[in-house]
Structure 1
Amino acid sequence: MTITYATAPGRLPGAGHALSLMRDPLGFLQSLRHHGDLVRVDLGPMPSLFVTSPALIQSVLTDRKDLLDKGRFYDKVRPLTGNGVIHAHGDEHRRQQAMIKPSFHREQIARYAKVMHEVTAERSGSWRPGECIPVDKAMRDITFNILAATMFGSAVGRAAHEELAQLLPVVLEAIMWRTVSPGDLLEKLPLPMNRRFDRAFTGLREAISRVMLAYRSSTGGGDRSDMLSMLLEARDEETGLPMTDEEVCNQIVSVTMAGSETAATAMAWMFYELARHPDIERKVREEVREVMGDRDFEMADAGRLPYCRQVLQEVMRVRQPILVISRRAVRDFPLGGGRVKAGTELFYSPYAVHRDPDLFNDPLRFDPDRWLDRPAASLPKGAYTPFGAGPRHCIGEQFAWAMMHAVLAVVVRRWQLVLSPGTKVREMPWATVNPNRMPMTALPAPGRGGRA
C-alpha cells in the first residue's frame, strides 16, 4: 500500500487553514482525500494531521499501545466534565470502562427499551394532527428525557427527570462550544453565555448529588435497573472499591456528552430523509406494523426489523452527525510508513469518509438497499465507523441503536412527518452536523391506525 502525504492548499501565514475551514468546513474536509492519505492542516498556528485513508483511520482507532490520547480539544472541556471514561487514558480508561460496561450490557439495554418506548410515546403523543413540529428540537427533547429516565429511573420523581432533561442540553451546549471555540480565551471571559454554562454545570452536579442522596436514603424496592444504580454498585476489579460520588457524576456527564446530541441529530435527519423518500417511509411503516402490531417496542425488535436497520445504517452514513474525531500522539510512533511525533494532533472526519465515492457508490443518494448489496462487514476497515472502533469504540453503541429503533418504530406507527412547503434544510457544521431548522407537519399515519 502506497501512502501519500501533502499539505492542504490555501494555507495563510499565521492563520493557517482557518479561513478555508470557516468559509466551507464541510467542503474543505471532504476535499482533503484528494490531496493525500495524511494531510497537514494548520488550525491557526497549530499544525495537525488529517487522516483520510480508511486503513490509516483503522490503525489510529485500534491503537492498543496507549500511543494516543483524546487530544487538545478534549482537554479544553476536561475541567467541566472531569476525567470520565471519555477523557481517561491508558490504564485509567480501561479501569473506568470495565466499571461502567455492565450498564450497557444487552440485558440492561433490554430493560431500557421499555423506557425508550414510554418516553417516545408520551412525547410524540402530545402532538396534534396538522401541528407544525420543530423535529430537530423534538428529537432533542425525546433523547434527553430518555437519558434522564434511563440514567435515574425510579430513584427520582418526574420533576427531577424534567429538571435534568432541561439542564443536560445547556451543559452539552457548553461542552460543544468550548470544544470548537478557537484558543482558550473566550471561555474565560465573563460573557453571559459562560455564566449561563457555569450555572448549568453547577445545577447539574447539584441535581445529580441530590439524586444519589435520595437513592442511598431510600429503603429499597422498586426497579433498580437504571444507570445510576449500576454505577453506584460497580466495583473496581482489582481493589473492590466503588466509584466516588465525583467519579459517578463525571461518568453521567461523559455519557451525556458522548451520545445525546449525536443521537438526537441523527434521528432528526432520519425523519427528514423519510419525508423526502415516501416509498422508503411506507416500507418502514409496513415492517413495523407487521412485526410489532399494537404492542410496545422491545429490544428484540431491533433484530426483527431488518429494513429499519438498513434505514438507520444509511442515516448514520450519509447523515453522519460527527464531523471530526481527534487524537493526540502521546509519544512518537510509526504511521503509514512515516513517523508521527509526540504531541501531534490527529483528526479524521467520519462525515467526509462516509461520503467518499471511492467507498460508496453515488454517496449522496439515500439508499438503504445499498447495505444489502454491500454489508458493512464487507467494507474496508475504517470506512464505516458510525460509533468509532478499537479500545475507544463508543460503549453506548447498542444503547444508541436501540433508541433509534424505538423512536423510529413508535413515531412512524402513529405519525407521518411532512416537510413544510418551501422549507430548505441546511447542514450546520458545529461539533455535530445539525440541521439549521426542521419544521415538519404531523399527520396521522396512513393505513390502519395503531397505538404509539
Structure 2
Amino acid sequence: MALVRRHAPSFAFWCGPACFVVTAHPLDYEAVLTSRRFNDKSSWYPMLRAALGRGLIVLSGEPWRRHRKAVAPSLHQRVLAQNVQVFHRKARDVSDELLGPAAATGAPLDIKGFCDLVSMDAVCETILSADLSDDRDALKSFVDAKNDSCALVARRVCRPWLLLDLVYALTAEEREARRIEALTDRFVDEVIRRKRAERRDEGHADRQRSFLQHVLADSAAASLLSDEELREEAKAMVIAGEGTVANALSFTLLMLAMHPDVQQAVQQELQDVFGEDPGRGVTEHDLPHLELLERVVLETLRLFPLVAVFLRHVAEDTALPNFHMHRDPAWYPDPLRFDPDRFLPDQVRGRPPLSFAAFSAGPRSCIGQRYAIMYLKTVLSTVLRRYEVHRAPGDTRTVADLPVEIGVILSLDGGFPVTVSRRRETATTRSAESDAHLETINK
C-alpha cells in the first residue's frame, strides 16, 4: 500500500525473472480487465491449485473457455433463485445454534466462526447437493481444510525461494498441502458418485437442483468436462465460494456493529419489506427491495475487496492492486468512512465504471457474483431480523485501525470480534406458516 501511494498511479518492479506492472487507476483497470488480450492469468495462479482446485479461477486459454461454457448455465439468475430458500434456512438454523447462546450470555465471539459454518453449509447444499446440517464434524473439517490450504498458499507466496516447485516439493508444507487436497478430492468425488447414482435410480424429478445436478443433467455441459474436471470445478466452486462469501459476511457484520446507525436503518428497511414477523421466510422476490442492504454490502466490499490483487498475463505479468483503488480519495472522498450511500445511483454515475471492481470485470469477471450478492442479502436479512451485532467490549477501532490481512482471500488479523443480542423475542421453532409461505411463493 505504501508503494502504491508513493508511486501511484503506476509503477513496475521485478520479482526474480518476472516484471510486474502495478496500476491503481480505473481507466487502466478497464483497459486490462475488459480486453481479451489479457484473458490469460498470470503464471503464478497455478500455485492456487492446491487451495482452490483446477477450475475456472486458475485456468487459461481453451480449458478456461470450455469450463466456462459448461458452468455458466448453472449460474443463471433463474437457477440461482432456487437457492434463496436454502440460504434462509441455513442462516436461521445456524444463527439459532451459534448466535442464540452468545446473545444469552453477552460474551464476545469471533463472528467469522458463524460465517464460516453457515456459508459452508449453504454452499455444500447449493453447489453439491450435500446437506451437512446434521454432520457438524464433517462441515467443520471441510472449513478447517479450506482455511489451512489457503494459509499454506499465502505463506508460500511470501517466501520467494518456495516459488520454485522443485524446492517447494521438498518441504513439509507441500506434503501437508497434498494431504488436504486429497481429503477434499475424496469428499467431492464421493458426492459426485452418489449424485450420479441417484440420477440413475430416481430419474430427474428434483425441482430444486444444485450446481452439480444442473451440470450432470445438462448433457451438453456434462460432455464438456471429464469426471476429473467436474470434480475440480465443483471443488473450486465450494472452496472459493465459501471462502469469499464467509469473509464478506464477516466484514459486513463487523461494519454494522461498528456503525449502529447504519444497522438501525437496515433493520427499518427489513421491517418495511418483511413486516413484524422475524420468522417469515425470504424469497427471491424480496431481494430487489433490499436496496440499502445491498449498498451496505457493496460499501463493505469497497473497503475490503475479498480479492485484493488481480494478476493478468500478456507480454508480461500485470498486478492490479484492487485494495488501493477502492480507497482512492479521487473516487471516494473521505475513503475510510463507511458510507453505503456512495452506491446510490447518482453517486455511481459520477465515477468511472471500474472504480469499483470487487468482482473483477470483463471476460474473466467473477462468474459467481450474482450467487454471492443473493447469498449475502438473504443471510443478512435473516440474521438481522433476529439479532443485533455490537462492538466487542473495549473495541474502539475505526476502519483505518483494522489490521487487514491480504492472502488468498482478504481477512483480518485477530478475527472479527463482536457481541450479539436478540433484537426481539423470536420464535425459534420452524414456523409452519413461514414454510407454507415459501412453498406457495416458489410454486
1:314 to 287, 299, 322: 299
1:204 aligns with 2:184: yes
Aligned to 2:393: 421
Summarize deviations over 1:375-405 as a string: whole Å, max 9, x none: 4354213211110111001110000001110
How far apart in 2 are the matches of 1:118 and 1:435? 28
1:63 corresponds to: 35
2:264 paired residue among 282, 290, 293: 282
2:130 matches 1:146: no
Residue of 39, 62, 65 corresponding to 2:11: 39
Name the SS of the counterpart of 2:109 in structure 1.
strand
Task: Report the alpha carbon displacement of residue 82 of structure 1 after superposing the two structures with TM.
Answer: 5.2
1:439 aligns with 2:439: no
Counterparts of residues 147-186 of structure 1 (less than 5 Å): 147-153=123-129, 158=133, 163=138, 166-171=141-146, 173-175=148-150, 177-178=152-153, 180-183=157-160, 184=163
Question: What is the rounded CA distance, in whole Å, between the counterparts of 2:377 and 2:133 in structure 1?
Answer: 24
Q: How far apart are 1:49 and its partner, in Å?
A: 0.5
Q: Which moves more between the two structures, 171-180 or 347-356?
A: 171-180
1:226 partnered with 2:210: yes
Distance 1:416 1:106, change over 3 A: same
Structure 1 residues 322 and 71, CA, compared in 2 at 3 Å: closer, same or farther?
same
Residue 259, structure 1, aligned to residue 241, structure 2: yes
Count of residues paired in the alignment:
405
> Which structure: greater helix fraction?
2
Paired with 1:162 and 1:107, the residues of 2 have a C-alpha distance of 33
For 1:167, the aligned partner's letter is F
Give the RMSD, CA atoms, in angstroms.
2.6
1:317 and 1:450, CA in 2 relative to 1: closer, same or farther beyond 3 A? farther
The corresponding residue for 1:87 is: 58
CA distance in 2, matches of 1:364, 1:417: 21
Sort the Cα spacing of 1:175 and 1:443 in 2 relative to 1 into closer, same or farther, 3 A.
closer
Q: Report how far residue 418 of structure 1 moved.
A: 1.4
Q: Deviations over 1:145-202 (max 9, x none)?
A: 111111122x6665678625532542354245325343325742342x4444322211
1:49 aligns with 21
- Rate the CA distance shift 1:82–1:263 in 2: closer, same or farther, 3 A: closer
Moved more, 43-52 or 76-85: 76-85
Provide the TM-score with structure 1 as the length reference.
0.82
Taking a change above 3 Å as real, the CA distance of residues 161 and 450 of structure 1, as seen in their structure-2 partners, is: closer
Point out where structure 2 has 5 or more consecutive residues left out of the alignment. 431-443
Contact 2:150 / 2:407 at 8 angstroms: preserved in 1?
no
1:403 to 1:156, Cα distance in 2 relative to 1, 3 A: closer
Q: CA deviation at 1:77?
A: 2.9
Give the Cα–Cα distance (whole angstroms) in 1 for the partners of residues 132 and 352 of structure 2.
Answer: 47
Q: Determine the C-alpha separation between the residues in 2 that align with 1:122 and 1:449.
A: 13
Provide closer, same or farther for how the CA distance between residues 165 and 102 of structure 1 changes in structure 2, counting only shifts above 3 A: farther
Question: Which letter maps to 2:42?
Answer: G
* Contact map agreement 2:391 2:418 (CA 8 A) in 1: yes
Which of 349, 357, 372 is 2:321 aligned to? 349
2-side partners of 1:175 and 1:152: how far apart? 21
SS in 1 for 2:14: strand
Where does residue 323 of structure 1 map in the other structure? 308
Q: Mean Cα displacement is larger for which, 196-205 or 278-287?
A: 196-205
Q: Give the percent of matched residue pairs that are identical in Structure 1 and Structure 2.
A: 24
2 CA distance for matches of 1:63 and 1:136?
Answer: 36
Contact 2:169 2:175 (8 Å CA) reproduced:
no
Unpaired runs of 5+ residues, structure 1, are 1-25, 330-341
The question of whether the paired residues in 2 share the 8 Å contact of 1:168 and 1:256 is answered with: no
Q: Please give the alpha-carbon distance, in whole angstroms, between the structure 2 residues aligned to 1:282 and 1:147.
A: 29
Which consecutive aligned stretches of 4+ in structure 1 deviate over 6 angstroms post-superposition? Answer: none
SS at match of 2:185: helix
What's the secondary structure of 1:416's corresponding residue?
strand
Name the residue aligned to 2:435: none
- Residue number among 88, 96, 104 corresponding to 1:125 in the alignment: 96
Seen in structure 2, the aligned counterparts of structure 1 residues 169 and 63 have a Cα distance that, compared at 3 Å, is farther
Judge conservation of contact 1:85–1:97 (CA < 8 Å) in 2.
yes
User: How far apart, in 1, do the equivalents of 2:120 and 2:320 lie?
Assistant: 28
Residues 360 and 122 of structure 1: is their aligned pair in 2 closer, same or farther, counting only changes over 3 Å?
Answer: same
1:270 aligns with 2:245: no
Quick check: 92-101 or 397-406, which moved more?
92-101
Q: Is the 8 A contact 1:41 1:49 kept in 2?
A: yes
- Per the TM alignment, residue 270 of structure 1 is displaced from its structure 2 partner at its CA by 0.9
Any idea what SS the aligned residue of 1:247 has? helix
Using the TM superposition, give the Cα deviation of residue 81 of structure 1 relative to its aligned residue in structure 2, in angstroms.
5.0
What is the Cα deviation at residue 236 of structure 1? 4.0
Q: CA deviation at 1:450?
A: 6.5
Say if 1:80 and 1:290 are closer, same or farther in 2 by CA, change over 3 A. Answer: closer
* Aligned 8 A contact 1:326 1:346 in 2: yes
